[in-house]
Structure 1
Amino acid sequence: MSSALPPNVWPVLLGVLGAVFGSFIATLAIRWPEGRSIAVGRSACDGCGRTLRATDLVPLLSFLVLRGRCRSCDARIAPAHWITECLGAAIGIVAGLVAPGFEGVAGAVCGWLLLTSGAIDLAAFWLPDRITVSLAIAALVGGLAGAAPDTTERLIGGVGGFATLWLVAAFYRRVRGRTGLGGGDPKLFGAIGLWLGWRALPVVLLIASLAGLAVVLAIAVAGRRPTATDRLPLGTLLAGAAFLCWALSV
């Protein structure tokens, strides 16, 4: 689909938007699992409660100027803020580079929703249905608007993605007598299937599995022996793998 803007504008535009969205996503990932308000309003310091000024809220730049601490109480600003802002910007830049125009915007939106799911799952082992449903809706809208793959492949991917992890979870529960996958993981994989289509799902699962294995090996190398009760945020791994697959396939 053609774009009225020059191709080199899209990475900048989506990168800036991504940093802004990343700031909100970081706050969401910290506050939502704790049951704190996520309503849009005046932001405040988590340490002293001081209402933050506009100059305190410039993504990345404010963190650098304030040296990672609150201007009033000197409390440390959680690194999750600038890390998520960087990831949000990176998603926008990559989307703008690989697919300038509508398809890149659609990819960035899905990427930011995946970032939200991944950040919350990493923080609290929780995948909110509202975010997953939003990703599914965005994926279907993109398909209906003409973005590849076609709607049939997306629908097969949605059903197949959900069914695959649901069956894995049911089998593990039957054999081991305990829950091995959270209820949100099959839903997220189904939403990813609606975005990428069924053909991409094996690759997404393979990349996520290899990333999980790399994390386990890193833990072992660091000197702590992994145990059977250790948990990995599969949603975070799936989210990263899905965006990588999209970026490489456009």
Structure 2
Amino acid sequence: MLLGLVVGSFLATLIIRWPEGRSVVAGRSACDHCGHNLRAGELIPVLSFVLQAGKCRQCGAAIARDHPGIELAAALVGGLSVLVSPDGNGLAGALFGWLLLTLAALDVKHHWLPDRLTATLAISGVLASLLSAAPSLEDRLIGGVAGFASLAIIAALYKGIRKRDGMGGGDPKMLGAIGCWLGWQMLPLVLLGASLVGILVAISWRLRGKSVAAGTMLPLGSLMAIAAFPLWLFQAATVAPLY
């Protein structure tokens, strides 16, 4: 949990700064509004946000709520991963969840699924086969190809019929990367889960008075991420590790 909070703090900074072209690792941590260099006591995940009432001590500007939200989510991901698999596979699952969390947040905020991040997700999924008996390396590789190909074909058919894009270019890569973790057998459940979450999101928007139409964009990458991590937890809880 503590490691998850620390990782979450880094991820929150990455999610805010990367789309702006700002360095995530260079220089000292600073307020995004006034540039005030943050001291150690202002960098404690979640606790600093609470003690400072969600504001910068120097300029009084509101600290993005993304920070504590991502920190808590990362802690939950890490805790659940180690709980269901208290070994190397659990740490791998935490990495899977943290990468999904980052991609989901970037997709929600910027409709952006960076190739470097989806490639990292895919490669780490293949390497994770060294830590778990299932899915097998073959199933993961098939999952990578099948995940990408299925959504890429759907996107091409939609564009050919409707003469406009109906899916972001990163979505097929995202599903392919998820397939490298869960194997091809889980891909239908990922899409089903994403669809159900999407329906719930659309309903919540309507209840809040937001217009929802056929052309309304939903972040498919985020929906797939939300569906994929619980499926990994299920796999990890039911499959024995390799050692």
- Give TM-score scaled by structure 2 length: 0.94
**SS at 1:230 equivalent:** coil
Q: How does 1:144-223 map to 2 (within 5 A)?
A: 144-223=130-209
Decide whether the 8 Å contact of 1:103 with 1:147 is kept in 2: no
Decide whether the 8 Å contact of 1:169 with 1:179 is kept in 2: yes
Name the residue aligned to 2:46. 60
Aligned-partner Cα distance in 1 for 2:25–2:202 = 36
Structure 1 unmatched ranges of 5 or more: 1-14
1:233 aligns with 2:212: no
1:119 aligns with 2:105: yes
Post-superposition Cα deviations, 1:12-61, rounded to whole Å, max 9, x if no partner, equal: xxx11111111111111111112222234311101110111111111111
The CA RMSD over aligned residues, in Å, is 1.1
Name the residue aligned to 1:131. 117
Name the residue aligned to 2:83. 97
1:242 aligns with 2:236: no
Aligned-partner Cα distance in 2 for 1:33–1:96 = 31
Q: 2:69 aligns with which of 63, 70, 83?
A: 83
Aligned-partner Cα distance in 1 for 2:52–2:132 = 45
Aligned length: 236
1:50 aligns with 2:36: yes
What letter matches 2:195 in structure 1? S
Name the residue aligned to 1:7. none
Aligned-partner Cα distance in 2 for 1:38–1:230 = 32
Q: Deviation at 1:227?
A: 2.2
Aligned-partner Cα distance in 2 for 1:136–1:147 = 18
Post-superposition Cα deviations, 1:146-178, rounded to whole Å, max 9, x if no partner, equal: 442110100110000000110111111111111
Structure 2 unmatched ranges of 5 or more: 237-243
Aligned-partner Cα distance in 2 for 1:114–1:123 = 14
Aligned-partner Cα distance in 2 for 1:181–1:54 = 43
Decide whether the 8 Å contact of 2:141 with 2:179 is kept in 1: yes
